[in-house]
Amino acid sequence: MKIICVGRNYVDHIKELSNDKPTDPVIFLKPDTALLEDSKFYYPSFSNDVHYELELVFKIGKVGKNIEAKFAHKYIDSYGLGIDFTARDLQSKLKEKGLPWEKSKAFNGSAFVSKMLPFQSSMMENNIAFHLNLNENLVQSGNSSLMIWNVFELIEDISKYFTLKTGDYIFTGTPAGVGPVQRGDLLAGFLENEKLFDLTIL
């Protein structure tokens, strides 16, 4: 199992971090050790500025490579929400030096995944709304229609380079509104109006 993440897939988020809009999907990987299977996130000792990034997540249901977008829906098993935790202070230092930034993105427990729901391709036509509350206050709100590349286009691009396997997760990027978490915070993620997770920061 691997975790494939997409960066800079929402224009408003690109603007809030003063990044350039990409011409192709920005892809990075997290190891399986990054998967957080508990409802508790333990603040890492190497950072003082960990940020939440809420994302739509899709789970792959069968092996495939060089998948055309029009067939991509056949490879999705389920979908839900995820948090891509980012050690923003460490990421900034690594970027300044032109170094890879996996340490800030792929550390243990940095990829939280909610419970997953059965996927049907028609869901993408209706647009998928989602939002995140931090201590009961709305901090992020997104919709699949606002993605630069939708999940089918992402699967086409990703599968050119990496064979997708059963159980892989695709994190599809975060909308605007990312921000820091502190010990004692409570994150709650909603897909449409259904709560999919509560996550405590310790």
pLDDT digits (tens, 9 = 90+) for 136-184: 999 999 999 999 999 999 999 999 999 999 999 999 999 999 999 999 9
The reported pLDDT for the residue numbered 20 is: 65
User: Look-up: residue for tokens 């809009």?
Assistant: 21
CA nearest neighbour of 156 among 80, 77, 73: 73
> Which residue matches tokens 């920061």?
201
Position 189 confidence tier, pLDDT thresholds 50, 70, 90: very high
Rounded Cα distance, 1 and 194, in Å: 27
Q: What is the pLDDT of residue 5?
A: 97
Are the CB atoms for 119 and 79 separated by under 8 Å? yes
Q: How is residue 126 written in tokens?
A: 């209706």
Q: Provide the pLDDT for residue 123.
A: 75
Mention every residue, 6+ apart, whose C-beta is less than 8 A from residue 2: 29, 30, 31, 32, 162, 165, 168, 169
Residue 28: how many CB atoms within 10 A of its CB? 16
Average pLDDT, integer, range 62-73 = 97
Q: What is the CATH number of the domain that holds 28?
A: 3.90.850.10
Q: What is the mean pLDDT of the chain?
A: 94
Q: What is the mean predicted confidence (pLDDT) over 11-38?
A: 81
Domain extent at residue 27:
3-201
Query: 9 or 14, which is more confident?
Result: 9
pTM of the model: 0.94
Q: What is the pLDDT of residue 37?
A: 81
How far apart (Å, rounded) are the C-alpha atoms in residues 125 and 54? Answer: 21
Residue range 123-132: average pLDDT? 87
CA distance 202 to 182: 8
How many folded domains does the chain comprise?
Answer: 1
Strands 3-7 and 169-171: parallel
